[in-house]
Structure 1
Amino acid sequence: MGIPQAQTVSGGVGSAATTADLWFDPRCPWAWITSRWLLEVERVRPVEVRFHVMSLSVLNDGREVPEKYRRGMVEGWGPVRVCIAAEQQHGPGVLRALYLAMGTRIHHQKAGLGRDMVLAALADAGLPAGLAEAADDTGYDEALRASHHAGLDPVGTEVGTPVIHVPGTDGELVAFFGPVVSPSPRGEAAGRLWDGVLAVAGTDGFFELKRARTREALFE
Structure 2
Amino acid sequence: MPRVDLFVDPVCPFAWITFRWLTEEVSPARDLDLRVRLMSLAVLNEGRPDHTPEHEKGDDSGWRPVRVATASGRERGEAGVRAFVRAFGERFHQERIRPRDAALRAALGDIGAPGLHACADDPTHDGAIRIEHAAGQEPVGDDVGTPVLHVDGVAFFGPVLGAVPRGQEALDAFDGAVLLARNPMFYELKRTRTGGIDLTS
TM over 0.5: yes
> Is there any run of 5+ residues in structure 1 with no aligned partner, and where?
1-16, 168-172
Q: Distance in 2 between matches of 1:113 and 1:203?
A: 44
Gap change, CA 1:183 and 1:85, over 3 Å in 2:
same
For the Cα contact (< 8 Å) 1:76–1:113, is it kept in 2? no
Alignment partner, residue 28 of structure 1: 12
Is the partner of 1:157 in helix, strand or coil?
coil
RMSD: 2.0
Q: Distance in 2 between matches of 1:96 and 1:132?
A: 17
Residue deviations 1:5-29, cap 9 Å, x none?
Answer: xxxxxxxxxxxx4331111101101
Residue deviations 1:172-205, cap 9 Å, x none?
Answer: x211111111211111111111111122232112
> Is there any run of 5+ residues in structure 2 with no aligned partner, and where?
none
| TM-score normalised by structure 2 residue count | 0.90
1:89 lines up with 2:89 in the alignment? no
**Which of structure 1's runs of 4+ aligned residues deviate more than 4 A?**
69-74
Gap change, CA 1:64 and 1:72, over 3 Å in 2:
farther
Q: Distance in 2 between matches of 1:49 and 1:113?
A: 31
Q: Distance in 2 between matches of 1:207 and 1:156?
A: 11
Residue deviations 1:43-73, cap 9 Å, x none?
Answer: 2221232111110011001111256x98599
Q: Distance in 2 between matches of 1:48 and 1:183?
A: 23
Is the partner of 1:38 in helix, strand or coil?
helix
How many residues are treated as equivalent by the alignment? 197
Residue deviations 1:94-139, cap 9 Å, x none?
Answer: 111111100111111112363322221112123x211110111111
Q: Distance in 2 between matches of 1:60 and 1:72?
A: 16
The amino acid of 2:15's aligned partner reads: A
Q: Distance in 2 between matches of 1:122 and 1:141?
A: 19
Q: Distance in 2 between matches of 1:85 and 1:207?
A: 34
Q: Distance in 2 between matches of 1:72 and 1:188?
A: 43
Q: Distance in 1 between matches of 2:44 and 2:165?
A: 28
For the Cα contact (< 8 Å) 2:8–2:146, is it kept in 1? yes
Q: Distance in 2 between matches of 1:178 and 1:73?
A: 28
Alignment partner, residue 5 of structure 1: none
The amino acid of 1:102's aligned partner reads: F
Gap change, CA 1:143 and 1:24, over 3 Å in 2:
same
Is the partner of 2:27 in helix, strand or coil?
helix
